[in-house]
Amino acid sequence: MPDQRTTLPAAELARTVVFAAFIAVLGLFPGFYLGGSGVPIVVQNIGPLLVGALLGAKRGTASVVLMLAVTAIGLPLLSGGRGGIASFIGPSGGFLIGWIASALVTGLVATRFARPGLPALLLATVAGLVADYVIGIPFLGFYTGDFGAAAVQSLVFLPGDAVKVVLAALIASVVHRALPTVVGRKG
């Protein structure tokens, strides 16, 4: 019988890698551009919310960092087949970096509850989305040279992101109920 001290970290590492791959798979859905901001509307940004809610702050953030790291070295894992370091210095770079904060904040809020239900997970995913916007909008403003316009242009994301917040909370709630020992409670 394997020693649990060695198998547990391996299982946690496997979950981290699998969820990084999950975020990458969400990039198969193409993004589309609305307005003139140069930032696409994508399905992929639901990934950091889900991994934070399911794996907790530490492992959820590690999943996002892993996915973004392999993207930065050139793998075309972002929506629309984008990849490489240029993705991080373009107009959507702040939102990509914000995914790290999104997973972290979502995980921190979700793990504050012993058994997070839908209301707690809604709070966690809303907080995670706000964390992404707090980084993404100023970055876009710096990139375009107009912080006010960046904030206004980002309003186009709110309806879709509101749907993603609710979906992420619903999915996480179902997974927490169905697999309470699989999802991370340690942060």
pLDDT tens readout for residues 131-183: 999 999 999 999 999 999 999 999 999 999 999 999 999 999 999 998 876 55
CA distance 31 to 141: 21
Q: How confident is the model at residue 4 (pLDDT cuts 50, 70, 90)?
A: low
- The domain made up of 7-178 has a fold known as Arp2/3 complex 21 kDa subunit ARPC3 (1.10.1760)
Closest CA to 49 of 150, 130, 139: 130
Indicate the pLDDT class of residue 185, thresholds 50, 70 and 90. low
Would you say 54 and 60 are in contact if contact means Cβ atoms under 8 Å apart? yes
Provide the residue type at 69 as one letter: A
Distance, C-alpha 43 to centroid of its chain: 10
Give tens-digit pLDDT for 42-100.
999 999 999 999 999 999 999 999 999 999 999 999 998 999 999 999 999 999 999 99
Tell me the β-bridge partners of 35: none
Distance CA 27, CA 43 (A): 7
Cα 124 to Cα 103: distance, rounded to the nearest angstrom: 10
Query: DSSP secondary-structure letter at 78?
Result: B
d(CA 23, CA 2): 31
Strand partners, 78: 82
3 pLDDT above the threshold of 80: no
- State the angle between helix axes of 158-178 and 46-72 in degrees (0 to 180), rounded to the nearest 10: 100
Comparing CA positions, the residue from 119, 56, 32 lying closest to residue 19 is: 56
Other beta carbons less than 10 A from residue 163's beta carbon: 11
